[in-house]
Structure 1
Amino acid sequence: MRLGVLDVGSNTVHLLVVDAHPGARPLPAHSHKATLKLAELLEGDGAISEEGAERLSAAVAEALRVSEEKGVEALLPFATSAVREAPNAERVLGRVAQEAGVKLEVLSGTDEARLTFLAARRWFGWSAGRMLVLDIGGGSLEMAYGVDEEPDVAVSLPLGAGRLTAGWLPGDPPDPADVGALRRHVRAEIARVVGDFTRLGPPDRVVATSKTFKQLARVAGGPARGGEGRVLSRTALQERVPGLVAMPAAERAGLPGVSQGRARQLAAGALVAEGVMDLFRVAEAEICPWALREGVLLRRLDRMPTG
């Protein structure tokens, strides 16, 4: 059957259309994206602005139209941190349901981490052993660790690249004092939860998902391993971070693999990636092409009857 996964994130509204059935690998059929940058359309108290709500409703309506054109039988719509943490989330969700005709399911941060872990586990398989999975989104950082499909520990922190850029790095290029303050903040937040993971022992494989990690792997010159995804080295990343945070967004957009829409927030994303790899003592992380959207899809397929 043809399924659609509608991901309302802090940066984009992304519709992924796949042909899938239980027990088979999902086959991508179509992808539709709308750049929203919801993390930058928040009021001082974190509420979604009127402009943000209007743009969100329009983007969801357009995604629904595309899904119908592509023959989607069932749509799996969900929203993450920017909507989840907004004090006016209920009103905004009601507006989207009324205007766009789509009822968004709001995932918790823990569910984000768990579903992303599931996607990475299915991608790498059981031979990957104990996995640590890292994901930097626009609004939050997700981390999960385990040996099965359900992680033993899953944590979400408000350290998304878009959120931190809007709140901590207003300059372009960022002011060095702001960079230093953000670096200390990021490491202090991550350090609070490191013990929850390290007490379980070292992972056999460290996996990184999300556009931020993919871009950083390209920028840091991460090689492909055995024809699979790229590898991000902590040493290579640490060498590139000072230059990344010092350059303006327009210059970052000219780097390999960096899109213009995400260039400004790559500095904050690099500080988060460097911090988490350093504090978890990760020498290198393998980039996984599957993440939260695939996790939502796989969980839905698991619950469908095989007949």
Structure 2
Amino acid sequence: MNSSPVYASIDIGTNSVLLLVACFDDNQLEVLDELQEIPRLGKGVDSDKNLHPESCERVISVLKNYRAYLEQNYPELIDEVIVTATSAVRDSSNRNQFLEQIFQETGWEVRLLSGDEEAETTYSGAISVLPYQNKKFVVLDIGGGSTEIAGGNGLVLNSGISVDMGSVRFSERYLLNDPPTRDQIEAVRSEAQSLLDKNSVSLQGFELVGVAGTVTSIAAILLGLNDYQAEKINGYRLKRSDVQRFINEFAKITSREIEEKYSPFLKGRGDVITGGLIILDEFMKLFEFDELTVSTGGIRHGILISSLNL
């Protein structure tokens, strides 16, 4: 049994809320436990600039369940959990009320990450769980509300940006039919191209690493898994041709049909997965990547690394 100190972190994203329990052995992060729920906090935030009360309640319900899970399985961690929030909370006018509500109902203070901090923690978290780390990487994190693009050498981040495009944001803005029309799909492509062009840099010699639900879900499906197995998903090489194939398939069926055919991995993602894949496809096209390496790491991993100064 591992005697190293154990830590926990929670990432409140636009679409999902993720719990990580991990320890560090010789400065290497070792994942002990992970939970995922998809309460869709960012629903409507792009248009309203406000967190909806129902969305807030769904997130707080998930946090309470995570607290109960930790109390049962890792009681020593309860007061030490690092909780972060990102794009949906950043963009909302009522974020302070929501963060106060979380504190009142769970006892946890939430750290609201800036776009730069989000890119930085995503990068270190993504690379930390890969079996090899001595390369030049660019990490792409397609979230619900924003997309982080971070480049570095091994575990050291050189630069990162946050772009206001994401699977929930673009799906709510453009993909209004179910299934979406051809014109709506082209609108997502056009806006993604425009935003990426503004942030275009040379990525020649870099290896592309993809994180978050858009890429991990598709990797799990292609691997033929029946449940989420991080050790098998990490390091999977996702080809752009497969991304395009799924876009073409999903564009012809409803979100409900997507979720039914590809449960459990696309449960709660059926109406936003196409938007996320289009962003991914446009990135790979612009920067000439034929494939990417999938990582199950992310903010929840990176925030533990940074908090421990590893």
Sort the TM-score into its range (normalised by shorter chain).
0.7 to 0.9
1:56 to partner: Cα distance: 2.6
5 Å-filtered alignment, 1:116-265, equals 116-124=122-130, 128-195=134-201, 198=202, 202-218=204-220, 229-253=235-259, 254-255=261-262, 258-265=265-272
In the alignment, residue 14 of structure 1 is paired with which amino acid? L
Aligned 1:16-31 pairs, distance under 5 A = 16-18=20-22, 20-21=23-24, 23-31=26-34
Q: Go from structure 1 to structure 2 and tell me whether the alpha carbon gap of 1:123 and 1:55 turns closer, same or farther (over 3 Å shift).
A: closer
- Equivalent residue for 1:10? 14
| Alpha-carbon distance between aligned partners in 2 of 1:125 and 1:142, rounded to the nearest angstrom | 22
Distance in 2 between residues matched to 1:270 and 1:212, nearest whole Å: 7
1:59 aligns with 2:62: yes
Which amino acid in 1 is paired with 2:18?
H
User: Which amino acid in structure 2 is aligned with residue 15 of structure 1?
Assistant: L
TM-fit CA distance, 1:165: 1.5
Shift of residue 271 of structure 1? 0.5
The superposition leaves residues 181-223 of structure 1 with CA deviations (integer Å, 9 ceiling, x where unpaired) of 111111111111013xx1xx5134211111211223455679x
- Say whether residues 1:95 and 2:98 are aligned partners: no
1:55-97 alpha-carbon deviations (Å, 9 max, x no partner): 3333323322322222242211111111111111112111221
Provide closer, same or farther for how the CA distance between residues 228 and 46 of structure 1 changes in structure 2, counting only shifts above 3 A: closer
Aligned-pair CA distance for 1:46:
1.6
- Which amino acid counterpart does residue 9 of structure 1 have in structure 2? G
Which shows bigger deviation, 129-138 or 116-125?
Answer: 116-125
Equivalent residue number for residue 302 of structure 1: 309
Alpha-carbon offset, residue 159 of structure 1: 1.5
- Residues 124 and 44 (structure 1), Cα distance of their counterparts in 2 relative to 1, 3 Å cut: closer
**Residues of 1 paired with 2:162 and 2:280: CA distance?**
14
Shift of 1:251: 2.6
Query: Unaligned stretches of 5+ in structure 2?
Result: 225-231
Q: 1:228 to 1:160 in 2, by over 3 A?
A: closer
Contact 1:130 1:205 in 2 (8 A): yes
1:250 partner SS = helix
**Counterpart amino acid of 1:153?**
S
Residues 72, 160 of structure 1: alpha-carbon distance in 2 compared, 3 angstrom cutoff:
farther
- The CA distance in 2 between the partners of 1:12 and 1:147, in whole Å, is 29
Compute the displacement of 1:126 (Å): 6.7
TM-superposition CA deviations, 1:270-294 (whole Å, max 9, x none): 1111011111111211111222211
User: Cα–Cα, structure 1 residues 14 and 215, in superposed 2: closer, same or farther, change >3 Å?
Assistant: closer
The one-letter amino acid of 2:276's match is: G
1:113 corresponds to which residue? Answer: 119
**Structure 1 vs Structure 2 CA RMSD:** 2.5
**Which residue is equivalent to 1:286?**
293
Distance 1:278 1:97 in 2: 43
Pair 1:273 & 2:284 matched: no
Q: Contact (CA 8 Å) 1:219, 1:256: kept in 2 or not? A: no
Q: CA deviation at 1:298?
A: 1.6
Count of residues paired in the alignment = 295
Contact 1:61/1:101, CA 8 A, preserved across alignment: no
Scaled by the length of structure 1, the TM-score of the pair is 0.86
Q: 1:221 to 1:6 in 2, by over 3 A?
A: closer
TM-score, with structure 2 as normaliser:
0.85
Indicate the residue corresponding to 2:51 in structure 1: 48
Change (3 A) 1:45 1:76: same
Query: What secondary structure does 2:35 align onto?
Result: strand
Structure 1 counterpart of 2:161, which letter?
A: V
Q: 1:130: Cα distance to partner?
A: 1.2
Counterpart for residue 69 of structure 1: 72
1:150: Cα distance to partner? 3.3
Distance 2:44 2:233 in 1: 39
Provide closer, same or farther for how the CA distance between residues 228 and 106 of structure 1 changes in structure 2, counting only shifts above 3 A: closer
Partners of 2:233 and 2:151 in 1: CA distance:
25
